[in-house]
Amino acid sequence: MIPDWIELALLGLAAWRTWALLALDDIIARPRRYVTSRFPGVEDFLDCPFCSGFWIALGWWGAWQLWPQGTLVAAGAVSIAAIVALIERLSSDE
């Protein structure tokens, strides 16, 4: 099954937001530091959108293959959060 353009956009934004949450967001900094201190190579893997992003995107796509409707509902919510994050980054003075 191949997603149409809106499904692809939702899944792509959800994958990006999931990657940003794991790699960049302060809210999980403590658990991320804990894991990366125990497993040194994990930090480089998490920071790379091409490395961990691929596996995260594969997870979203696989979930969509197994349960399209439920995955798109979840991806819709995560994609809205991604749009908020992107707008904040684009409008920030930093």
**What would the mean pLDDT of 26-33 be, rounded to a whole number?**
95
CB 82 within 8 A of CB 16: yes
**What would the mean pLDDT of 7-17 be, rounded to a whole number?**
98
What is the C-alpha separation between 81 and 27, in angstroms, rounded?
14
- Give the side-chain half-sphere CA count within 13 A for 18: 21
Write a three-state SS string for 27-83: HHHHHHHHHHHHCHHHHHHHHCCCCHHHHHHHHHHHHHHHCHHHHHHHHHHHHHHHH
What would the pLDDT profile of 47-91 be if each residue is shown by its tens digit? 999 999 999 999 999 999 999 999 999 999 999 999 999 999 999
pTM over 0.75: yes
Q: Note the pLDDT of residue 8.
A: 97
**What would the mean pLDDT of 22-48 be, rounded to a whole number?**
95
Q: Which of 27, 16, 81 is nearest to 50 (CA)?
A: 16
CB 46 within 8 A of CB 18: no
% of the chain beyond a pLDDT of 90: 95
